[in-house]
Structure 1
């Protein structure tokens, strides 16, 4: 069985070299390159014949950051999966990476076993999200019987789709011609139905269920 090819993109030299050594020790994976920023990734993808299946992507980088590089991959090489690996835990940053097309989001302080598991899950299932990022993950793909019981009303679905955008809840209320209080009720209803506790959970549900295609 051929190893799964990985490219690491991170501008912190010590961390990227340590990550290279760690991933190289995972028998299923092979590190093709360690790059410093998104521009180097674009150049690498544009000229190399052997491309990675997965890119481990930092976010805050000079010249071309992780969000920009992930957006570029989505438009030019959508078959390459991006797994974000960052110190950033702000909801806005996580949402930006998900909207850009990242298939998972990890914090840099995770245990190596979680990284190993995440790489395998992204390779096999196409995505991986940890509980601490999603703040109670929505229905797992391993529980289809539970998903069948979820019925979304037309306006709930409209609201869910808008949560994936960059609009604030106030702006969503304006688009839907509803009061902020009604929007709050839709949000709380979906939190309960989908068993999530944050906007990130709503966005991930919409992405995983292909309600929104990024």
Structure 2
């Protein structure tokens, strides 16, 4: 995977957007290919530039014409390969859970540090998602609450032992190369296991695998946090 990351920056607050742009332009491996003030502008760009799609979209949630949540839903269907990082002033549990359920690869609050933002962008590009400890805690609380209402039907033999090994390392946010080195297999084999996991769990994205693993007791939040 190339280390070069193409970014689309979508936020209706001009001053804030320009500040983020200035920060990102200082990073050698990051290129901002689009600034948009609403979801409609963003979607128009994607539809008109199919050969120059961003790797990652920094997505504000509250915008005019088409907000970030609705834009995320559309993009997940039309351009599932694009990773979305929610960028918002709202850090409440419902907002975070909603964006994760819609397939967001990470969640940044606007008062997070520049270092956190750059790290999140690089981790999402490398691993497909990036959840910090606070997001993981919220995710686990929601899953545990739901599991009290609906008993899991997970069959222990549904996944092979190797698939479980790969799944645990994915949840710990290791990259493909790191997983390959730890399990003494090739990166291509890791990709094959990841694709099988997505099919078996009916997950559209890596984020779905994390939810599946916690929900079915394959990994605990403490195990995940040991890597974070």
Q: Under a length normalisation based on structure 2, what TM-score does the superposition of the two structures give?
A: 0.61
User: Could you tell me whether the CA contact under 8 Å between 1:161 and 1:206 is conserved in 2?
Assistant: no
Equivalent pair of 2:103/2:207 in contact (CA under 8 Å): no
Matches within 5 A, 1:143-162: 160=143
Residue equivalent to 1:13: 14
Task: Give, in angstroms, the shift of residue 208 of structure 1.
Answer: 3.7
Query: Is 1:27 the counterpart of 2:28 in the alignment?
Result: yes
Counterpart pick for 1:59 among 32, 38, 61: 61
- What stretches of structure 2 of length at least 5 have no aligned partner? 152-205, 214-228
Moved beyond 6 Å, runs of 4+? none
1:108 to 1:7, Cα distance in 2 relative to 1, 3 A: same
- 1:190-214 deviations in Å (ceiling 9; x for gaps): xxxxxxxxxxxxxxx97243629xx
- Deviations along 1:89-108, one digit per CA (max 9) or x if unpaired, are 11111111111110000111
Question: Structure 1 stretches of 5 or more lacking a match?
Answer: 139-158, 164-168, 177-204
Quick check: 1:124 aligned with 2:129? Answer: no
Q: Deviations over 1:99-121 (max 9, x none)?
A: 11100001111111111110110
How far 1:62 sits from its partner (Å)?
A: 1.1
| Structure-1 residue corresponding to 2:4 | 3
User: Any idea what the Cα deviations from partners look like across 1:112-131, whole Å, max 9, x if unmatched?
Assistant: 11111101100000001122
Distance 1:133 1:76 in 2: 26
1:33 aligned counterpart, secondary structure: strand
